[in-house]
Amino acid sequence: MKNTVSTFLSMKQNGERLTEITSYDYTTAKLVEKAGINAILVGDSLGMTMMGYDTTLPVTMEDMIHHSACVVRACENTMVIMDMPFMSYQASVSEAVRNAGRLMKEARGHAVKLEGGAAVAEQIRAITDSGIPVQAHIGMTPQSVNVFGGFKVQGKGEDAAKRLLEDAFTVQEAGAFSVVLECVPPKLAALISKKLTIPTIGIGAGAGCDGQVLVYQDMLGMNMDFTPKFAKQFDNIGERMVDAFRTYMNEVQNGTFPTEKQSFVKSDCSDEYLAKLDAEF
């Protein structure tokens, strides 16, 4: 079944939980598609997970287009949502629409995501009006890490909780088809989810959201430096990869790989002819 914005809305209406996960390349996206997850987020987290930056701020439109296009080529049924990178939408509404349009035309995904509440409501409205679905993202928005003074939980305290609820209504009214709630206290996230008609997608925001999103390296145990507290490790693939790389290295070094079985073409030459070549050269 093809996943679209309609799937998001109907699953919310039916009380079914949505699943979303990041991917940044063709191979991983194929595996996610095979698993049947509703949506892939080509997150600007690729700046950290794939490119080794310490924040998402250096990620460019070209990075997002390149990685999103790889993912899109793997997806038949999975909806592909593409992050708008830092400074591709904040400066003006027209720039936001142009850059959202570039992602849709050049990478050919199905929706864009951008960070912020009331501050980017005009951008959400204009992008949606130009025919591009928008997933909003509020709470801990990593592109504002320098304003927050670090990657910190948002919506703590009464004023902050009210502001976050207002932001959620604002992005819904602006036309967003769903909203990511990142690092929001679970009871507040559950309240926002109850109040909105569009689905909430939580990350570090508890089980009361309408769906969940995770960065795939975190949930597979591939992030050897750091795993966020909220990201359950569903496997330990990082260690299994290191073991496999070591086994390969050892087998090459001790001559047990490759064997005859892994050789594509058997020689057409006789042993006598090869011995003749050996003598001649």
Q: Which residues are catalytic?
A: 182
DSSP string, 62-75: HHHHHHHHHHHTT-
- Beta carbon of residue 145, minimum distance to ligand KIV (angstroms, whole number): 12
Select 61 or 257, whichever has its Cβ closest to ligand KIV.
Answer: 61
Nearest position to ligand KIV, beta carbon: 43
Which residues partner with 213 through β-bridges?
A: 20
Q: Which residue has the tokens 């003074």?
A: 149
State yes or no: residue 59 binds ligand KIV (CB under 6 A).
no
> According to the annotation, is 44 in a ligand binding site?
yes
Interface with ligand KIV in residues 134-193 (CB under 6 A): 137, 180, 182
Q: Which two tokens stand for residue 180?
A: 């990511």
> According to the annotation, is 210 in a ligand binding site?
no
Distance from C-alpha of 71 to C-alpha of 235, rounded to nearest angstrom: 22
Distance from C-alpha of 1 to C-alpha of 18, rounded to nearest angstrom: 14
Of the candidate residues 41, 97, 205, 231, the single one contacting ligand KIV (CB under 6 A): 41
Eight-state DSSP code of residue 21: E
- Beta carbon of residue 45, minimum distance to ligand KIV (angstroms, whole number): 3
Of the candidate residues 24, 29, 38, 43, the single one contacting ligand KIV (CB under 6 A): 43
Distance from C-alpha of 1 to C-alpha of 95, rounded to nearest angstrom: 34
Of the candidate residues 44, 63, 167, 210, the single one contacting ligand KIV (CB under 6 A): 44
- Beta carbon of residue 251, minimum distance to ligand KIV (angstroms, whole number): 36
Q: Which residue has the tokens 């604002």?
A: 170
State yes or no: residue 45 binds ligand KIV (CB under 6 A).
yes
Select 127 or 180, whichever has its Cβ closest to ligand KIV.
Answer: 180
- Is residue 21 within 8 A of residue 32, CB to CB? The reply is yes
Of the candidate residues 100, 120, 181, 213, the single one contacting ligand KIV (CB under 6 A): 213
Select 49 or 172, whichever has its Cβ closest to ligand KIV.
Answer: 49
Residue 67 identity (one-letter amino acid): H
- Beta carbon of residue 261, minimum distance to ligand KIV (angstroms, whole number): 41
Which string of b and e fits 209-220 if b means at least 16 CB within 10 Å?
A: bbbbbbbbbbbb
- Is residue 18 within 8 A of residue 201, CB to CB? The reply is yes
State yes or no: residue 68 binds ligand KIV (CB under 6 A).
no
DSSP string, 113-153: EEEBSGGGHHHHHHHHHTT--EEEEEES-GGGHHHHTSS--
> According to the annotation, is 115 in a ligand binding site?
yes
Distance from C-alpha of 258 to C-alpha of 277, rounded to nearest angstrom: 24
- Beta carbon of residue 241, minimum distance to ligand KIV (angstroms, whole number): 21
Distance from C-alpha of 123 to C-alpha of 127, rounded to nearest angstrom: 6
State yes or no: residue 215 binds ligand KIV (CB under 6 A).
yes
State the number of binding residues for ligand KIV (CB under 6 A): 12
Cβ neighbors of 87 (< 8 A, separation 6 or more) are none
State yes or no: residue 63 binds ligand KIV (CB under 6 A).
no
Write out the binding residues for 3-methyl-2-oxobutanoate. 44-45, 83, 113
Query: Can you give the binding site for ligand KIV, defined by CB under 6 A?
Result: 22, 41, 43-45, 83, 137, 180, 182, 203, 213, 215
Write out the binding residues. 44-45, 83, 113, 115
